[in-house]
Amino acid sequence: MARHLITSAIPYINGIKHLGNLVGSQLPADLYARFQRARGNEVLFLCATDEHGTPAELAAAKAGKPVAEYCAEMHAVQSGIADGFRLSFDHFGRSSSEQNKALTQHFAGRLADAGLIREVSEKQVYSNTDGRFLPDRYIEGTCPNCGYDKARGDQCENCTKQLDPTDLIDPRSAISGSTDLEVRETKHLYLCQSQMKDQLEEWIDTREGWPILTTSIAKKWLTDGDGLQDRGITRDLAWGVPVKKGTEDWPGMEGKVFYVWFDAPIEYIAAAQEWVDAGKGTDWERWWRTDKGADDVRYTQFMGKDNVPFHTLSFPATILGSGEPWKLVDYIKSFNYLNYDGGQFSTSQGRGVFMDQALEILPADYWRWWLLSHAPESSDSEFTWENFQTSVNKDLADVLGNFVSRVTKFCRSKFSEAVPEGGAYGPREEALIETLSTRIRAYEAHMEAMDVRKSAGELRAIWVAGNEYLQDAAPWTTFKTDPEAAAMQIRLALNLIRLYAVLSAPFIPDASAQMMEAMQTEDDSWPDDVPAALQLLTPGHAFTVPDVTFRKISDEEREGWQEQFSGIRS
RNA sequence: GGGCCUGUAGCUCAAUUGGUUAGAGCAGAGCGCUCAUAACGCUUUGGUUGCGGGUUCAAGUCCUGCCGGGCCUACCA
C-alpha cells in the first residue's frame, strides 16, 4: 500500500477565496487525495490558513477586530466553506498555531547554526501616522516616469516601470494616505539561498516529469540575473512568529517576526502535528521524517503558478539547509490562472464568483465538475456562464444523471425495485466490458499522472459508454420478446450505476454518495476487476429510484447570475 | 527592458514529444430510438494549425523574424 502525503497551497486569511483560487490548488489536491484513498492507498491530506503578514493586519483593522480574533473567525469561515466544497482535508490547520511557531523557530535556529542566515541592515519607509513600516507596495505616489498619480512603491501599474519607494513624487501611505513618512534603518535576517543555488539547481534538474510551468519558473529564479538571491525572512510586524533562534532569543531581533513566506510552508509540517494533537492521528513524523518512516512516502504539492518559487526554492532551501532528514517534495503540480468572463478574478476588486456565493447558487458537485474538467493546466482558462451551463447540463444532467434515471425508472416499471434475475451475457456485453476496461485503465493512468482535464474527459466517456450500450441493447424492445435478456441488460445497467458512483466519487462525491445510496450498497471497492465489479449487485438486491441527480441550469438562471455577478461584490 | 508560457474548427480543448488522411466535446445539419431530466444513439458540415521565411525524406511539433494574448521580474501573499 503506497503512502501519499498531499498538501494544497494554504489560502491566505484575509477573506473568502474565489473559484480561481479553488481550482488552482485545493480542488485538484482533493481530487488526487480522494482518488488515492479510493485505490486503497494511505493518504495524509493537509491544508491550512496562511495567517501572518501585513494584509491580515490591515484586514483585521478594517474589520475593527484584534488580528488574532479576526484570523480565528476567518479560519472558521474558510473551514466551513471547504467543508461545503467537500474538500477532504485530514486536517485544516492554521499557520498561527503553536506547533508552527515552535517549528519555524526551530528551522531558523538550525539554519543559523549551519551558517545560512546573515543579518542585513537596510533602510525602509516608516509611517509615523500608521505606526508601522510600509512594504513597498503600500506606498503610493506620483510616478516619476509617466506622471500616474497612483503608482505603487514597487511598480507603476500604469507604465509598468519598476520603482523604488523613494523614487515616488509626493509619496503617501496607501493605508492612511498620510504623508508623514520617513526612511528608517532596520535590521533583518536573510536566508542565504545563494549558497545553496547549485544544490537546488541539481535537485530541480533531476526531477522527472514535472510540469513545464513548475520547472521553468524555478529555473528562471535560479539563473536570472546574478542567480538565486538571498531572501529576507523577517519583517517589522506585530503579528507573526516571533524571531527566535530555536527556543532562544535572537539578540538584536526583538519585536520582529518571521516573514510569512518563511513560516507558511513550514505549516505543512506543523499541520501534521496539529492533526495528531487534535486526536485525528497518532504519528506525524512517519509522514515527515525520513529517519522515522517517511522514506516510502510520496509527497505531492498542489499550487497556483504564483506560489511556485517558494515551493521549488525557498522551502526546499529551508528543508535542505536544516541538515535534518525532513521529507522533500516529490512532485509539484502547478496551475495557471482561471479568468472570469473576459478578465481576471480579483479578490481586492471583488470580481468573479467567490466560494461562498458559489455554494449559495448550486451544490458543490456542479462547481467541482466544471472547475476540474476545465482546470487551467496548459494555459490560463476562462469561466463563462454559458460554458458552465452547457457543461453542467450536458455532462452531468444529460449524460450521467439521465442515465441513472432511465435505468432505475425502467427497471421499476418493467420489473420491480430490485435487481432482476435471468439471462446471460452475449457479445454485446463482452464488448462493453472490454471498452470499459480499456477506458478505466486509461482513467486511472490520467488520475495517477494528475492530468485533471484528461481524467475528466475519460470519465465522461465512461458515462457515455453506458448510454451507448442501452441504445444498442434496447431493453425496452427486448422486454417484449425476451424478458430474460432484458433482465440481464438492466441488471448490467444497474451495476453500471454503482460502478459510475465509485469512479466518479473523486470528482463529484455527493452525487456518488447519492447513487450508492440509491443502489443500497456500501461496497465502494475500486474496479480492478471490471467483470467482477459489474456483478456485485446480484439478482434480488433491492434499490431505490433516486431523486434527480443533477438538475439543469435554465437560461433564466444563467442570465440572472450573469447579471448578479457582473458588478463588484459588496 | 528581460525571461517564460501561449496562439489549432464558431466555442472549450487534444495530438503518443519530428512520422500515415490534425482529433474530441459543445454549437450547426440530417437520421434513428421512445426506457429516461425534450433526455439517449448514429451519421455529418466545419481547419492554409496567427503570419512570413528556413531545416528535414517528413513540421501543429525544431530554427528564425514579425503579430496577438497571458504571466513573472524577488518587500502583497
Among residues of chain A, what percentage have pLDDT more than 70? 98
Q: Is the CB of A91 under 7 A from strand B?
A: no
Mean pLDDT, rounded, for A267-287:
97
ipTM of the complex, rounded to two decimals? 0.91
Q: How confident is the model at residue A49 (pLDDT cuts 50, 70, 90)?
A: very high
Count of residues for chain A? 570
Note the pLDDT of residue A124: 87
Q: How confident is the model at residue A169 (pLDDT cuts 50, 70, 90)?
A: confident
Mean pLDDT, chain A, rounded, equals 91
Residues 249-268 of A with CB under 7 A from strand B: 259-261, 264
Q: Which nucleotides of B are covered by protein (CB under 7 A)?
A: 1-7, 11-14, 24-27, 32-37, 39-42, 69-77
Among residues of chain A, what percentage have pLDDT more than 90? 66
Comparing A142 with A412, which gets the higher pLDDT?
Answer: A412
pLDDT digits (tens, 9 = 90+) for A330-382: 999 888 888 887 677 777 677 788 999 999 999 999 999 999 998 888 777 88
Spatial CA neighbour of A468 closest among A437, A506, A429, A503:
A429
> Which residues, other chains included, contact A401 with Cβ-Cβ below 8 Å and sequence gap of 6+?
A511, A548, A549, A550
CA pair distance A520, A524, nearest whole angstrom:
11
Paired with A133 in beta bridges are A126
pLDDT above 70 for A18: yes
Q: What is the DSSP letter of A292?
A: G
Choosing among 3.40.50.1820, 3.10.620.30, 1.10.730.10, 1.20.120.450, the CATH entry for A368-533 is: 1.10.730.10
Note the pLDDT of residue A570: 46
What single-letter amino acid sits at A220?
K
Q: Which CATH class is domain A117-191?
A: mainly beta
Distance A212 CA to B50 C1' (A): 23
Q: Would you kindly state where each structural domain of chain A is located, as residue ranges?
A: 3-115+261-335, 117-191, 368-533
Note the pLDDT of residue A163: 75
pTM for this model (two decimals): 0.95
Note the pLDDT of residue A113: 96
pLDDT digits (tens, 9 = 90+) for A217-251: 888 888 777 788 899 999 999 899 999 999 999 99
- Which homologous superfamily does the CATH classification assign to the domain defined by A3-115+261-335? HUPs (3.40.50.620)
Within 10 A of A393 (CB to CB), how many other CB atoms are there?
18
Note the pLDDT of residue A568: 57
Q: Nearest nt (C1') to A165 (CA)?
A: B75
Q: Measured on CA atoms in the order A397, A398, A399, A400, is the torsion positive or negative?
A: positive
Q: How much is the CA Rg of chain A, to the nearest whole Å? A: 27
Annotated binding residues of A for Zn(2+):
143, 146, 156, 159
Mean pLDDT, rounded, for A539-567:
90
